[in-house]
Amino acid sequence: MTDTFDEIATVRIDLRDTDPPIWRQVEVPTSITLKGLHDVVQAAMGWFDCHLWEFTVDRQRYGPPKGQDWGTQPRRDAAKVRLRDVLRPRRTTIDYLYDFGDGWEHRLTVTKVRQGEPGIGYPRYVAGERNAPPEDCGGIPGFYEQLDILADPQHPDHEEVAEWFDDYDPEALDELVIKIALGRIAKRRNAAAARMAKKKSNTAS
């Protein structure tokens, strides 16, 4: 198999059933594992990775390894499958579910597989709009219900919800935080690449 370590793809992440849409666009290496892609989605959306999750591609499910899945239905270990292994020609769609209670459903659309630019660290943030909902707020229905309460100072639950949401702004998107989080992932990946190169060099000599 050709070495595709430097191959990248564009990934559009849409949080489903949001209106107006909450979305991110990132560039990721196709050599990243699906566990690594999970980390990318968490960083891009601002989730805190404290709930169960899974990917679904062509009806095959991928998630945490056995023992870390809290006894849910079996799924393939996402750490053992790379993004390039599930890609289709031209366009690939991947479903990602985070928090089986709140049920945050994401649709990932993967396009534009190509060589990465020299000197650029991947994954990297490209674009996005709007803040992701606070965790544990009841999923999409609970999120919008509480936004309506926040907008109505006369609502009997307004004060309680305002305290829970604190300074949350649904329109605010802190791109710097996303770039820093993805930069940490890229740094770990680059360190791994350097170790691989050093190992190959030592073997060759």
DSSP helix/strand/coil, 170: coil
99 in Cβ contact with 53 (< 8 Å): yes
For residue 189, pLDDT over 90 is answered with: no
* 15-65 pLDDT tens trace: 999 999 999 999 999 999 999 999 999 999 999 999 999 999 999 999 998
Q: Which residues contact 98 (CB under 8 A, 6 or more apart)?
A: 41, 42, 47, 51, 53, 104, 106
pTM: 0.91
- Domains, the chain, in order of start with CATH, read 7-132+172-204 (3.10.290.30), 134-169 (no CATH)
pLDDT over 70 for what percent of the chain? 88
* 89-144 pLDDT tens trace: 999 999 999 999 999 999 999 999 999 999 999 999 999 999 999 999 999 999 99
Kindly give the pairing relationship between strand 76-77 and strand 60-63.
Answer: parallel
DSSP helix/strand/coil, 155: coil
111 in Cβ contact with 26 (< 8 Å): no
* 142-171 pLDDT tens trace: 999 999 999 999 999 999 999 999 999 999
